Chain A
Amino acid sequence: MTLLSGLIFTIGLGLLLIVVIKSLIFEQVLTGGIGSIILEQAPNDVGTANIVSSVLLAYRGLDTLGELTVLFVAATAVGLVLGQPRPDAPRDPDAGFILRSAADLLFPFMIILGAYIILHGHLTPGGGFQGGAILAAAFFIPILASPSSPLNHKVSSLVEGLAGSAFILIGLLALFDKGYFLAPLLGTGEVGELFSAGSLPLLYLAVGLKVGAELAGLLARLHETEV
């Protein structure tokens, strides 16, 4: 019975997809519309070499704030459900030699890679979310290797809160200065330089720190509260 209803649901979903795909007009979506306008105007408007980050932070900056909020709510819910670990809770023993040495070796390189991806978000592919995920992984691997030295949750929460408020503060500054929330500030600069695109690198730094601290705290909390 369950199998049959699942089959019927799948067939219905397939038919719906066929109808939706048949009614799409691919040529119009690809050639016209807002995409070509943004491709043309973004380097002059915002000054980013990477068009995607100009859309993410300048044209649709509010959506990025929404994404950050979703992530924040998810991390808060995980913290609420899991709660604090008991102080006398048994901890896992340290991991084997390979994981411990690999954690020591990898940590600086992963930090550098994450920082590079965040700081070059307006020039090359990548940005706050991707770099933040790498930073979180960099802080999580040492926890896996030696569970006896846990992540400092106070520091990670502090970084997360400060980065989130910095994002909103930059947006509010733009609101007072230019009249639009999260409008790009500080001019555009030379396209392709590290210090260009105005306030976008600052926004990406805030996004990266927030995502990194949040994900690292979430992973550490999942790992350390005992079963």
Chain B
Amino acid sequence: MLFWIALISVVVMLSAAVAVLLLENYLAATAALSVVSLALSVLFIVLQAPDVALTEAAVGAGVSSVILAITLRRVGLWKIEGEK
């Protein structure tokens, strides 16, 4: 059971990390980066490190993604597809 959870989170993490590199839309790449952090926090729970998992979820998936998204808005790269 634990093995499968770890495997799924690693697969999600790796595919989201590749998606960050491949996505053309910066906003979508930021969301994918947040998914990497979320899957990593699941992996930390499997590895019995709940403190690190909480930090990863709150700071990695939450605050840093918000900071990236606001920065995108400030530098004018905030584009939602179809909106030109």
Q: Is A153 an interface residue (CB 8 A)?
A: no
What is the size, in residues, of chain A's interface with B at 8 Å between Cβ atoms? 21
Q: Is there contact, CB below 8 Å, between B51 and A50?
A: yes
Q: Is there contact, CB below 8 Å, between B59 and A227?
A: no
**In whole angstroms, how far apart are the Cα atoms of A105 and B58 in the complex?**
19
Q: Is A204 an interface residue (CB 8 A)?
A: no
Binding site for B on A (CB under 8 A): 50, 52-53, 117, 125-127, 129-130, 133-134, 136-137, 140, 215, 218-219, 222-223, 225, 227
> Of residues 52 to 71 in B, which have CB atoms within 8 Å of A's CB atoms?
53-55, 58-59, 62-63, 66-67, 70-71
**In whole angstroms, how far apart are the Cα atoms of A218 and B59 in the complex?**
14
Binding site for A on B (CB under 8 A): 50-51, 53-55, 58-59, 62-63, 66-67, 70-71, 73-74, 76
Q: Is there contact, CB below 8 Å, between B58 and A219?
A: no
Which residues does chain A contribute within 8 Å of B58, judged by CB atoms? 129-130, 133-134, 137
Please name 22 pairs of A and B residues whose Cβ atoms are closer than 8 Å in the assembled complex, sorted by A: A50-B51, A53-B51, A125-B51, A125-B54, A126-B51, A126-B54, A127-B51, A129-B58, A129-B59, A130-B51, A130-B58, A133-B58, A133-B59, A133-B62, A133-B63, A134-B62, A137-B62, A137-B66, A215-B63, A218-B67, A219-B70, A222-B67
Q: Is there contact, CB below 8 Å, between B54 and A227?
A: no
Which residues does chain B contribute within 8 Å of A225, judged by CB atoms? 74
Q: Is there contact, CB below 8 Å, between A219 and B67?
A: yes
**In whole angstroms, how far apart are the Cα atoms of A215 and B66 in the complex?**
11
Pick the 5 closest A-B CB pairs, nearest first. Answer: A125-B50, A133-B58, A130-B54, A52-B51, A222-B70
Which residues does chain A contribute within 8 Å of B51, judged by CB atoms? 50, 52-53, 125-127, 130
Which residues does chain B contribute within 8 Å of A130, judged by CB atoms? 51, 54-55, 58-59
Besides A125-B50, A125-B54, A129-B58, 8 more A-B contacts (Cβ < 8 Å) are: A53-B51, A125-B53, A129-B59, A130-B51, A130-B55, A133-B59, A215-B63, A222-B71
Q: Chain A residue with minimal CB distance to B58?
A: A133
**In whole angstroms, how far apart are the Cα atoms of A9 and B11 in the complex?**
25
- Central interface residue in A117, A215, A218, by most chain B CB within 10 Å: A215
Which residues does chain B contribute within 8 Å of A136, judged by CB atoms? 63
Q: Chain B residue with minimal CB distance to A227?
A: B74
* Interchain nearest-CB distance for B67 vs A (Å): 7
**In whole angstroms, how far apart are the Cα atoms of A65 and B80 in the complex?**
41
Which residues does chain A contribute within 8 Å of B54, judged by CB atoms? 117, 125-126, 130
Q: Which of B59, B62, B74 contacts A222 (CB 8 A)?
A: B74
* Interchain nearest-CB distance for B25 vs A (Å): 19
Q: Which of A125, A137, A215, A227 contacts B73 (CB 8 A)?
A: A227
Which residues does chain B contribute within 8 Å of A52, judged by CB atoms? 51
